[in-house]
Structure 1
């Protein structure tokens, strides 16, 4: 039986003081208050543990800031003109040779949201074409600058949230990009369509030196470096779809505030080269995405909401363990965004973390059992459609989630990292957490400084005083942790191994 940090499990692994809802008492009102107080104490302690594990507000905001700065540097002209491979301290972050692709890079996903550490998950890079714009029907072309090639969105006969892209005749003084060469097909009406399949095949051939064509995975062209760090690279076209964004903006809601709604609308959208899995027009459809707006929305979740989101992702990855992306991180994000929109922000307090995790698990249970979850930006699009979820898998996951909901606060102990933190002595955990956070802050600053040096002189400056000092302190931290682990009898290999484990 584990009683550390106030997280208690019975021999059967379930706190039977909870009803099937996991939150409401089954005995007297006095016991009800006792249970509620226990759940709130556990919630606060779990929030503290999550901060120690690298999901606190300070490091979250630091990650957001540094990746924004690096995006600016990555897109500097002096960087874009040649291939850059960041050295071993930040391995795997690579810009491809510009060749004939005029585009800019945006970090999206969990790294841009500030919710994963340096090596905890894949990097998601959105490569947006600079000289192309896709517009929905009704947008007047005379308001668009002449130096942009304009395509028209066609949302007829496609799954919601998708479109076909039609090439328009050249406008006077407009410039035609060559990025769509050899990827155009004709539909039955004689319109020139850009094939998403052919486009992605073409993009897979733009690669770094010594790298063969990249294998497609949905809209992404994933790649890994020699250390196993994965980068998902998605090519996209800027999209002007004011009617879709206005429908989203005008929804009745309790969150986000009006100024955030306005900013999300201003960030616009893109279309990426992937069709709906079950569509007969799959190779011609493009998906309408709002990556930048969704990143902004996650930035505006409070820290309790952000921690619920992280725990929910942990549960899917470590407990449900989908094999073929039947449930994705994107599904979790949409559950959290719907939860945020429909409830007052004041309700998301640290002491209510277990309650909101339970509520999110209930939403996930409904999504799986009904194979229905509306996309937050375009509700007509069902994120569970054609997800490949088989009947037996559905039955098992429904049973698993039901059991988790019945466990109440003890469900947290299913997660290895949290369970390990619970049973760890507080002082060593705090000591390790401080060094882990310092190591990550240093690597974020190293990444930014390295790119800044490259902007100034086009090469990695091994003698830069700031980079040298960061390297020195990183080595010092790794040696401190290595020595302590050795003294305490922990399994360790090398100082470098300890350093990389610090950043996971």
Structure 2
């Protein structure tokens, strides 16, 4: 099974290559754009766990010059021009907050930010999450052929051909109290150096309130995207494979339609499992044991409508998830059946089933081509960013871009030729290329 997971593109080398490519893409974007905004890739792309078109790209855009502070954090150490807000968590559900404007002499607040301020019942100014999203969305410059979709939670989704992106605005946040409580927990994992690194990365707030709150438009959610990226990168191979398999269970077996359960739910299950168990117990021979354990914890979360958020355990990730009793019973029964099936449960997962059928030679041959195609595509993105001239026009005469395009065309033709030899009648080379990147 571990061999299959490596062939399917979940091995450590391809995960690292993907993570490095998206990190470089962020660096190039932030170096060229003079705007007061910083791009950070998060989610499965930052974790290196999905292909180019396999899932949405989760992109976080951090507004510069603004800092949110936990109560008790000294604002005097901030640069004089920084706009500061204090977290008011006492009036919100766990993990959420209102942002109260902290008056500081000499600070000039941009007009768009001023327009997003509201007064509370005590006459204090609050930053409205809904108004900030509207203000940013109105100024968001679309690229050619980009389609903008309806807002989903904190995200402003866009698509461009087969590439779908979730764009989330965020503000930097300093909450040493919350991070200290997380860091001081008794644990098997992560090691102390990773704990320290996560703490130094701080946190963010994103413009989305607690579902069901009448003050959603004023509330922000506290999150730890960069810290979670670091945590996921420190998981061992077995833990990563369990995470991927559980995500497949949610997507291909349970098939939620209203995000009652998400890949983020699964991520938190894996983080808790890793923290609470000795790392030596996670190895190739124990893969199915831990997969069953993960299924059991997923079943419990659904049955009890309860799953503590890994960074702030008081926040229940299943709270207000919208799961009705009928759906809950169906999912609990399905997961119970899967737990009783042992290793045969993997046959329920289309990608794993196809891999088992095509193993070894066709699978190894095709995935070698597919992974090369993906790495070339990521390299092309980064090189194109480097070759951007004025008005974002790419210099197509660049030798590296031409070499990448040439090799990409060769790979598509190789795959097309074998497909035809084995009975396929698909002749659209563009469609084949896009299919290889899913």
Same fold (TM over 0.5): yes
Query: Per the alignment, do residues 175 and 182 of structure 1 end up closer, same or farther by CA in structure 2, a change over 3 Å counting?
Result: closer
- The residue number in structure 2 matching 1:177 is 110
Q: Is the 8 A contact 2:130 2:217 kept in 1?
A: yes
Is 1:194 aligned to residue 127 of structure 2?
yes
Shift of 1:487: 0.7
Supply the RMSD in Å over aligned alpha carbons.
1.5
Aligned length: 436
Segment drifting more, 444-453 vs 334-343:
444-453
Q: Match for 1:221 among 148, 156, 168?
A: 156
Are 1:466 and 2:400 an aligned pair? Answer: yes
Residue correspondence of structure 1 range 424-439 to structure 2 within 5 A? 424-439=358-373
Q: 1:119 aligns with which of 50, 53, 71?
A: 53
Q: Structure 1 stretch 254-263 or stretch 178-187: which is displaced more?
A: 178-187
- Counterpart of 2:229 in structure 1 is 295
Task: Choose which of 58, 70, 77 in structure 1 pairs with 2:13.
Answer: 58
Per-residue CA shift, 1:18-64, capped at 9, x if unaligned? xxxxxxxxxxxxxxxxxxxxxxxxxxxx1111111111111001001
Aligned equivalent of 2:269, options 335, 340, 348:
335
Shift of 1:449: 1.1
Say if 2:148 and 2:159, in contact at 8 Å, map to a contact too: no
CA distance in 1, matches of 2:235, 2:390: 36
Q: CA deviation at 1:428?
A: 1.4
Give TM-score, length-normalised by structure 2.
0.97
How far the C-alpha of 1:202 sits from its partner, in A, is: 2.0
The equivalent of 2:297 in structure 1 is 363
Higher relative contact order (CA 8 A, sep 6+): 1
In structure 1, C-alpha distance between the alignment counterparts of 2:359 and 2:346, rounded to whole Å: 18
Indicate the SS of the match to 1:205: helix
For structure 1, the 5+ residue unaligned runs are: 1-45, 82-97
Decide whether the 8 Å contact of 1:73 with 1:455 is kept in 2: no
SS of the equivalent of 2:327 reads helix
Q: Which runs of 4+ in 1 moved over 4 A?
A: 209-214, 455-458
Quote how far apart the aligned CAs of 1:281 are. 1.7
Which whole-Å CA distance do the structure 2 matches of 1:318 and 1:215 have between them?
A: 25
Greater radius of gyration (CA): 1
Secondary structure of the residue that 2:180 maps to in structure 1?
helix
- What is the aligned partner in structure 1 of residue 426 from structure 2? 492
Contact 1:373 1:383 survives alignment (8 Å): yes
Trace 1:88-167 onto structure 2 (pairs within 5 A).
Answer: 102-167=36-101
Mean Cα deviation higher: 120-129 or 349-358: 349-358
2:194 to 260, 270, 278: 260
1:71 aligns with 2:71: no
SS of the residue corresponding to residue 181 of structure 1 reads helix
User: Unaligned stretches of 5+ in structure 2?
Assistant: none
**Structure 1 residue 230 corresponds to structure 2 residue 164:** yes
